[in-house]
Amino acid sequence: MIFKDIECMLIDMDGVILDNTYDNNFWQNQIPAVIAKNKGISFEDAKRLAIQIFNFKKNTKDWYDIDYWSNMLNVDIEAEKRSSLSFDRIKLYEGVTETLNKLKNRYRLLLITNAHRKTLNIKLEKYDLAPYFENMLCAHELHYVKENVQLWYMLRSKFQLNYTKTVLIEDTINNINIGLSAGISRAIYLGDENYQPSEKIIKLSSINDIFSALN
């Protein structure tokens, strides 16, 4: 029943379409290595410093803003993301484009990501995902992130969504819970966090499993 009368799917990017191993490596290894070199400190010290700085902004708009981090760390984050060391690590999950192509013929598809527009553009240079989506929105451009319930209200208004006929596809259970609290009636969870079971949430291992769930 989770897919009954569905008209629209709100789909996350990282961890759903793209392998988030790329992002984890970038912030946990590549940037600390740059900080270590710039400051003349060990990699481990740079990593501890980076974690402390990053955690201070977790779940906020700044967390995803690469311009903010460029200024804060005195590192050209966009240039680092465009370097071959980083760019070559951007990977689509296997089979995703075939799944998206099938879904777009049945539903309105909207990509909703917390990623900064510059980050999104870099990833789109590697994989052109635009043809699969009616629109691709970076949450911070509405001045909120998915962790803020106000974003979901703004999305409903901006795209004239009927949330009773909308499914949210996410790999972060907190974002799902906030989306549901804003009125989205159903969700597909692709993560591995513990969560309170709900008739509104179906857990799948991959977005590619969605058709077996539909049938």
Which tens digits make up the pLDDT trace of 79-107? Answer: 999 999 899 999 999 999 999 999 999 99
How do 186-189 and 108-113 pair as beta strands?
A: unpaired
* Token pair in block for residue 133: 């989506």
DSSP character at residue 169 = E
| pLDDT of res. 57 | 86
Identify the helix (H) or strand (E) that includes residue 128. none
Of the chain, the percentage scoring pLDDT greater than 70 comes to 98
Q: Which residue has the higher pLDDT, 59 or 77?
A: 77
- Digit-coded pLDDT (tens) for 27-71: 999 999 999 999 999 999 999 999 999 888 887 888 899 999 999
How do residues 123-161 score in pLDDT, each as one tens digit? Answer: 999 999 999 999 999 998 999 999 999 999 999 999 999
pLDDT for 1: 54
pLDDT of residue 106: 92
What does the alpha-carbon distance between residue 196 and residue 178 come to, in Å, rounded to a whole number? 13
* pLDDT value of position 48: 94
Return the pLDDT at 215. 62
Domain 8-19+91-214 has CATH 2.60.40.420: no
Mean per-residue pLDDT, 178-200: 93
Task: State how far the Cα of 181 lies from the Cα of 137, in Å rounded to an integer.
Answer: 20
Q: What is the pLDDT of residue 197?
A: 85
Domain ranges, ordered by start, for the chain: 8-19+91-214, 21-87
Dihedral, 181, 184, 189, 192 alpha carbons, nearest 10: -10
